[in-house]
Amino acid sequence: MTVIYLAMIGSWLIFSSSVLLAFIWAVRRGHFDDFDGAAASIFDDDEPYPSALDRFPRAVPGPQDLEEEP
Amino acid sequence: MSEAETDTSATEVDARRREQALQRRRLDISCRGPVTFFFASAVTWLLVGTLLGLLASIKLHTPGFLSSWEWLTFGRVRPAHLNLVIYGWSSMAAIATLLWLQARLARTPLPWPGALIAVGVVWNLAIAGGLIVLLGGHFSSVEWLEFPTATAAVLGVGFLVVMASSITMFARRTTRHIYVSQWYVFGALWWFPILYLLGNLTIHGGGATGVVQATGNWWFAHNVLGIWFTPVGLAAAYYFIPKVIGRPVHSYHLSLLGFWTLAFFYNWAGTHHLIGGPVPVWLTTVGTVASVLMVIPVVTIAINHHMTMVGHFHKLRFSPTLRFIVFGAMTYTAISLQGSLMALRTINENTHFTHYTVAHAHLGMYGFFAMTMFGAAYYIMPRLTGREWSSAPLIAVHFWCTGLGMGLYFVGLTIGGHNQGQMLNDAGVPFLDIVAYTIPFLWSRSFAGSLMAIGHIAFAILFIRMLRDARRSS
């Protein structure tokens, strides 16, 4: 009986305390200092593209949506 | 990025863009083997899992269907369906997506491709073996932990390898920023392997029997949704929606608030499954409180995705990825708010043990998670193989059959389940009348499931054609 409660409460504590530690780490490392930079970090210099990056195949004429093979 | 200052000459900008395009290419090439393998395996298990689900569905309104062979009786087909779609389709698609996302976001190549493919191969063998054992009738009857110990051990080690590869990429990251999707991926891979090992040890290790086992079961099963599939689905939504429409997420602040509140609240929510059961009241109350607190992350995420999409909804017409992912993100809001309500005692006493809950579960695992994974595959696979999807009409068939199928599934079982609950709570209604009452709704479920199966076949054809084209050109 007690084993499962120990496992459950233990895991609750492990999960919650690890979240707390990660949060403190992120604050100290300054990961919450630059929201605009973080939000834009998924784009490269040539992005965001003016048109959608993903289209139905051959639905719209024009350049390929796939990134160019260099 | 902002580092590209105006005094940089045009040629330097060009060189930088070229370097970034090359980097994207390198990252995709590093992911090609493992991510393609995991997606291909996921699609295979999706087809088998769908077939088993359809069989289980038909048996509920036509009990004589294929019932002369004990391997295909309801009691075996249902857990087989459940475990294949959870550990075969959903988990393998999740791993494919999160490995690719982490490589892209950390801007570092995926390490140990050979080891990851080996994990995928052994994983498939373990699931195939587990399927035979399940259909043979040897399983624990603890939902989502039915697989034999050997399969569970293989999956547990597999999760640890995936976790290690993701953490390695995170440690080798070449970017200054941690994007919100990385927080979600990190959370999923930190919590789930621990949960899976603890769940198997406590349930299969003999430490828990009877009511305690049921408690452990629901603590585990709800956390599979809450701290494994939900974070991966949200990581994908937070990446693909802004990426495809070409606009940063509406409020990065809200996105972080959503992650950290989810991280604190979700793992406490599972015990709401035990409302009305012979367990201490505080235990279910903890689950109810946490479930209602989940309204905070859900509403922040809903506002954020909606505000990011405002002004861009017309792009749903052009982008398969966006269609599936926005469908998934909208469903996430609906399913989560419904879930918070269902954790309230007054509502739970009507919905518990009815088809209403089955509709709810499928809206979450399918309407939200599976649809989001379809969207992710539509974006990722062309970049790995260098091939376009072969047919726009087939994509449309996939979207409309799965979308309408899910809608019909939900509406039918929600109405049928609600009324079923009302009748079950009325001592004057004979049980067999209730069973007979639900039959038309169960037929509607089989019809909806057939639609979804057609969608899956369309997706599988597209997927196979893409692999064939890639092989031909290489």
pLDDT band for A51, please (50, 70, 90 cuts). Answer: low
d(CA A44, CA A23): 27
Q: Which helix (H) or strand (E) holds B169?
A: helix B149-171
- The torsion angles phi and psi of B196, rounded to 5 degrees, stand at -65, -45
d(CA B98, CA B89): 14
| Tokens of residue B78, six digits | 């249902």
d(CA B189, CA B94): 11
Assess whether pLDDT exceeds 70 at residue B411.
yes
d(CA B42, CA B1): 36
Provide the 10 A C-beta neighbour count for residue B173: 15
pLDDT at A67: 41
pLDDT at B406: 97
pLDDT band for B1, please (50, 70, 90 cuts). Answer: very low
Assess whether pLDDT exceeds 70 at residue A69.
no
Cα-based angle A18, A24, A27 (whole degrees, multiple of 5):
140
Tell me the mean pLDDT in the region B399-407.
Answer: 97
B335-349 burial by CB neighbour count: b if 16+ within 10 A, else e?
bbebbbebbeeebbe
Environment class of residue B327 by beta-carbon count within 10 Å: exposed (0-12), middle (13-18) or buried (19+)?
buried
Tell me the mean pLDDT in the region B27-43.
Answer: 96
pLDDT at B201: 85
Tell me the mean pLDDT in the region B186-204.
Answer: 87
Contact yes or no for B31/B110 (Cβ under 8 A): yes
pLDDT at A13: 83
Percent of chain B scoring above 70 in pLDDT: 98
Tokens 């491709």 correspond to: B113
pLDDT at B209: 77
d(CA A26, CA A39): 16
Residue B105: list chain A partners with CB under 8 A. Answer: 41-42
d(CA B123, CA B31): 18
Tell me the mean pLDDT in the region B377-393.
Answer: 93
Assess whether pLDDT exceeds 80 at residue B15.
yes
pLDDT at B362: 97
pLDDT at B133: 96
pLDDT at B407: 97
Assess whether pLDDT exceeds 50 at residue A68.
no
Contact yes or no for B456/B402 (Cβ under 8 A): yes
pLDDT at B321: 94
- Which residue type does B438 have? T
**Interchain CB distance below 8 Å, A57 and B195:** no
**Interchain CB distance below 8 Å, A44 and B246:** no
**ipTM above 0.95 for this complex:** no
**Interchain CB distance below 8 Å, A36 and B248:** yes
**A38 CA: distance to closest CA in chain B (Å):** 5
Residue B132 CB contacts under 8 Å (≥ 6 apart), including other chains: none
pLDDT at A49: 60
- The torsion angles phi and psi of B175, rounded to 5 degrees, stand at -115, 155
Residue B128 CB contacts under 8 Å (≥ 6 apart), including other chains: none
pLDDT band for B447, please (50, 70, 90 cuts). Answer: very high
pLDDT at A6: 74
**B107 CA: distance to closest CA in chain A (Å):** 10
d(CA B331, CA B28): 30
d(CA B72, CA A61): 50
CA B375 remoteness from chain centre: 12
What is the crossing angle of helices B295-309 and B320-342, to 10°?
160
Assess whether pLDDT exceeds 50 at residue B372.
yes
d(CA B93, CA B235): 13
Contact yes or no for A41/B242 (Cβ under 8 A): no
**Interchain CB distance below 8 Å, A54 and B378:** yes
Select from B83, B190, B171, B62 the least CA-distant residue to B127.
Answer: B83
Tokens 């009990």 correspond to: B63
Interface size A-B, in CB pairs within 8 Å, comes to 168
DSSP state of A48: S
Lowest mean pLDDT, pick from A64-68, B21-25, B201-205, B272-276:
A64-68
What does the CA dihedral B222, B227, B230, B233 come to, rounded to 10 degrees?
-140
**A59 CA: distance to closest CA in chain B (Å):** 7
Select from B326, B473, B468 the least CA-distant residue to B390.
Answer: B468
First-to-last alpha carbon distance for chain A, in angstroms, is: 62
Residue B465 CB contacts under 8 Å (≥ 6 apart), including other chains: B390, B391
pLDDT in tens, B239-265: 999 999 888 999 999 999 999 899 888
- Which residue type does B385 have? T
pLDDT at B19: 86
Chain B residue at shortest CA distance from A20: B264
Tell me the mean pLDDT in the region B75-81.
Answer: 95
- The torsion angles phi and psi of B256, rounded to 5 degrees, stand at -75, -40
**Interchain CB distance below 8 Å, B267 and A46:** no
Please identify among residues 5-64 of chain A the ones whose CB lies closer than 8 Å to any CB of chain B.
5, 7-8, 11-12, 14-16, 18-19, 22-23, 26, 31-32, 34-60, 64
Tell me the mean pLDDT in the region B381-402.
Answer: 94
Tell me the mean pLDDT in the region B402-408.
Answer: 97
Mean residue pLDDT of chain B comes to 92
Nearest CB to B318 within list A18, A50, A55: A55
pLDDT at B6: 55
Helices (H), B62-141: 74-83, 91-106, 113-135
| Tokens of residue B376, six digits | 């992710």
pLDDT at A4: 67
Assess whether pLDDT exceeds 90 at residue B340.
yes
Query: B452: number of CA atoms within 13 Å, CB side?
Result: 30
Give whichever of B202-211, B215-224, B359-368 has the largest mean pLDDT: B359-368
Assess whether pLDDT exceeds 70 at residue A59.
no
DSSP state of B232: H
Report in angstroms the alpha-carbon separations of B66 from B72, B80, B441: 7, 16, 21
Residue B378: list chain A partners with CB under 8 A. Answer: 54
pLDDT in tens, B136-188: 999 888 889 999 989 999 999 999 999 999 999 999 999 889 999 999 999 99
Contact yes or no for B108/B174 (Cβ under 8 A): yes
CA B248 remoteness from chain centre: 24
Tokens 């070229």 correspond to: B18
d(CA A53, CA A62): 12
pLDDT band for A64, please (50, 70, 90 cuts). Answer: very low
Select from B312, B333, B316 the least CA-distant residue to B324.
Answer: B316
d(CA B430, CA B424): 9
- Which residue type does B437 have? Y
